[in-house]
């Protein structure tokens, strides 16, 4: 390694290091696995959203979260819990009211920002590894300035989690009345994980415990903030777990709807 003093920039000079990075560990592995994981998920979700079939199991009232709520006039009978008022054009997702907000919620999420800034934009790909770009403007200009809207997408995501919860409740159905099967467990686990991810959001933590001068004067908010803070330390894991539960729930509902296998029923 050779190292010489650079021309001072501002008040301080920095060492010029010829090597791109001095790291010898597998620093590239995390960005690589992030690119592979996120690309695979986006490809699967895109295919499913525009497939326009196998999203509803009429017998048990299972609705995949990728089509919830189903609001186009193409939605099959029984799957529209909130009306079907949009035209059923191929390019319009059947859950056109919710998917854009969910996409924006995840795109502006503090964890995902770190993930795709590092892996897709190489900005920078890892600590002590040079940025892939010559200039850096942070999130001070359009379009990245829009990342500040994350707190508002949090409210939308919370409402959508309520809708997903309602879907999971409606799914306790069978042709005989009340029913319970493996599909219910899949839907419930997905909803619990979605709530865990949503309330572990940094904006949620601030909404619950921010701007308070004295926690002692707000014991309920303090307890809620403590709970959310614990979840918040697992935000990255929850971000990935919910990608998994969403895709698995959708696949399970698709498989039952397509008749690839039958739902395992415990009651009715």
- Dmax over CA atoms of the chain, in Å, equals 80
Taking Cα atoms as reference points, which of 74, 72, 75, 77 lies closest to residue 97? 72
Could you say which of 202, 206, 218, 265 contacts ligand FES (CB under 6 A)? 202
Pick 86 or 246: Cβ nearer ligand FES: 246
The distance of closest approach from Cβ of residue 38 to ligand FES in the complex, given in angstroms and rounded to an integer, is 14
Q: Which is nearer to ligand FES, 48 or 150 (CB)?
A: 150
By C-beta, is 19 or 162 nearer to ligand FES?
162
CB of 32 to ligand FES, least distance (A): 22
Member of 186, 191, 201, 254 binding ligand FES (CB under 6 A): 201
CB 56 within 8 A of CB 63: yes
Cβ neighbours for 186, distance < 8 A, ≥ 6 positions apart: 248, 249, 252, 253
Number of residues binding to ligand FES, judged by CB under 6 A: 9
Q: What is the DSSP string of 90-158?
A: TTS-TTTTTHHHHHHHHHT-HHHHHHHHHHTS-SSSSTTS--SSS---TTSSTTGGGGGGHHHHHHHHH
Which residues ranging from 42 to 81 are in contact with ligand FES (CB under 6 A)?
Answer: none
Omega of the bond prior to 124 within 30 degrees of 0, cis?
Answer: yes
Contacting ligand FES (CB under 6 A), which of 41, 101, 110, 240? 110
If the CB atoms of residues 44 and 110 are measured against ligand FES, the closer one turns out to be 110
Is 73 or 139 the residue whose CB approaches ligand FES more closely?
A: 139
Q: Which class for 60: exposed (0-12), middle (13-18), buried (19 or more C-beta within 10 A)?
A: buried
Which residues in 114-173 contact ligand FES (CB under 6 A)?
Answer: 150, 154
Q: Is 3 left (phi over 0), alpha (psi -120 to 50) or beta?
A: beta
Specify whether the CB–CB gap between 244 and 153 falls below 8 A.
Answer: no
Among 70, 75, 109, 256, binds ligand FES (CB under 6 A): 109
Residue showing tokens 């850096």 = 136
Are the C-beta atoms of residues 97 and 71 closer than 8 Å to each other? yes
Instruction: Report the nearest approach of ligand FES to the CB of residue 94 (Å).
Output: 24
- Among 5-13, 46-54, 107-115, 214-222, the segment contacting ligand FES (CB under 6 A): 107-115
Q: Which of 65, 184, 235, 252 binds ligand FES (CB under 6 A)?
A: 235
Given the complex with ligand FES, which of 61 and 106 has the nearer CB atom? 106
The residue ranges that bind ligand FES (CB under 6 A) are 109-111, 150, 154, 201-203, 235
């Amino acid at each position: 390694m050779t190292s010489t003093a650079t021309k001072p920039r501002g008040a301080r000079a920095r060492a010029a290091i010829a090597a791109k990075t001095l790291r010898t560990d597998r620093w590239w592995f995390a960005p690589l696995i992030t690119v592979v994981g996120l690309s695979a998920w986006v490809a699967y979700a895109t295919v499913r959203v525009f497939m326009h079939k196998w999203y509803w199991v009429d017998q048990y009232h299972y609705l995949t979260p990728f089509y919830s709520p189903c609001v186009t006039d193409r939605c099959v009978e029984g799957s529209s819990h909130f009306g079907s008022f949009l035209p059923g054009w191929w390019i319009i997702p059947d859950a056109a009211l919710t998917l854009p907000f969910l996409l924006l919620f995840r795109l502006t999420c503090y964890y995902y920002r770190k993930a795709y800034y590092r892996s897709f934009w190489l900005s920078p790909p890892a600590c002590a590894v040079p940025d892939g770009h010559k200039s850096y403007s942070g999130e001070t200009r359009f379009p990245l300035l829009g990342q500040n809207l994350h707190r508002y997408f949090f409210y939308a995501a919370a409402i959508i989690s309520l809708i997903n919860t309602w879907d999971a409740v409606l799914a306790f159905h069978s042709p005989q009345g009340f029913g319970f099967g493996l599909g219910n467990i899949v839907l419930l686990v997905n909803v619990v994980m979605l709530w865990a991810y949503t309330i572990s959001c940094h904006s949620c933590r601030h909404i619950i415990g921010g701007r308070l001068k004295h926690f002692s004067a707000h014991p309920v908010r303090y307890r809620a903030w403590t709970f959310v803070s614990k979840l918040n330390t697992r935000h990255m894991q929850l971000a990935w777990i919910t990608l998994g539960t969403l895709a698995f729930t959708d696949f399970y509902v698709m498989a039952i709807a397509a008749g690839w296998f039958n739902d395992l029923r415990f009651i009715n």
